[in-house]
Amino acid sequence: MSNKPIGLLDSGIGGLTVLKAAQAMLPDESFVYIGDSARNPYGDRTSAEIIQYTNELASFLVSQDIKMLIIACNTATALTLKQLQKDLDIPVLGVISAGSTEAIRQTQNGHIGVLATQSTVDSNYYAQTISQASPNMKISSLACPDFVQLVESNQYESVYAATVVEKTLQKLPDQSIDTLILGCTHFPLLAGFIQKAVGPSVHLIDSGALTAVNIGSRLDALGLRTGSCNRQTITLYTTGNVSLFNKIATKWMQSTDMKIKSIPIERLSSYVK
């Protein structure tokens, strides 16, 4: 048993989709989240930059005495998961494995699509993960560089967002997919527009929500569950605009019972050992 919080990191707002699912599924657990909106989007960054930034965020969360780290960002998962699992003495989970497994389970025709950032697509992490588990799957990936900014700028419910999504998804290389992975934790906030663009017959996979199930399983396996009488607390940090982050977080999380704080990016490097 451990009453320490669970830490989550993301390039910005997107990881809140993981946090929302986790806090609902694990009502006695407490969470500390950091979103690096000041340096977002990660998908357009170099691999070296993404690794550096993720290490800084992870080090900050470790300083908050967390019992488990969730890389709630597909781009960061693809580039840093294995190394962080080696470097840290706490459990580290990413968001790609859960979505890949569920996509294989859901598909009927073996045609799986992946929407992600350019960096995640370039890493080929989803394709490798799926192919290793089920070699006969046909995987088609599409980089959607504009989607993240629609969310970060709080335009994800706008008519403009609907237009961007529709035009982007016309570029899907395989129009016969029956399963589509939302391979960025920002993308579930655009799920309604995405579903409309691809049609009702395509099953959307929210890897972030599925990761929440994995968190619970790992806590149980390692004996790290919080005592049932613990009061859940949620603390959110952002490197970006606190007012905008607060507005989106409060609306998406449907809660005002959260502490939202600012942390300058200049301070983050001091946490790296």
Residue 126's Cβ-count burial label (10 Å; 0-12, 13-18, 19+) is: buried
Question: Which residue in this structure is represented by tokens 């989106």?
Answer: 248
144 has catalytic annotation: no
Would you call 226 helix, strand, or coil by DSSP? Answer: coil
Determine contact, residues 151/160, Cβ cutoff 8 Å.
no
Question: Which residue in this structure is represented by tokens 């088609």?
Answer: 140
> Which DSSP letter does residue 109 get?
S
Structure tokens at 261: 């704080």
Of 57, 73, 79, 215, the catalytic one is: 73
Residue 112 main-chain phi, psi, to 5 deg: -115, 130
Helices assigned H by DSSP within the chain: 16-25, 47-63, 74-87, 96-106, 118-123, 125-133, 145-152, 159-169, 191-198, 207-222, 242-253, 265-268
Determine contact, residues 19/72, Cβ cutoff 8 Å.
yes
For residues 118 and 96, what is the distance between their CA atoms, to the nearest angstrom?
Answer: 15
199: alpha, beta or left, given left = phi > 0 and alpha = psi -120 to 50? left
Of 18, 150, 165, 184, the catalytic one is: 184
Determine contact, residues 41/55, Cβ cutoff 8 Å.
no
Residue 154 main-chain phi, psi, to 5 deg: 65, 35
* Residues with active-site annotation: 73, 184
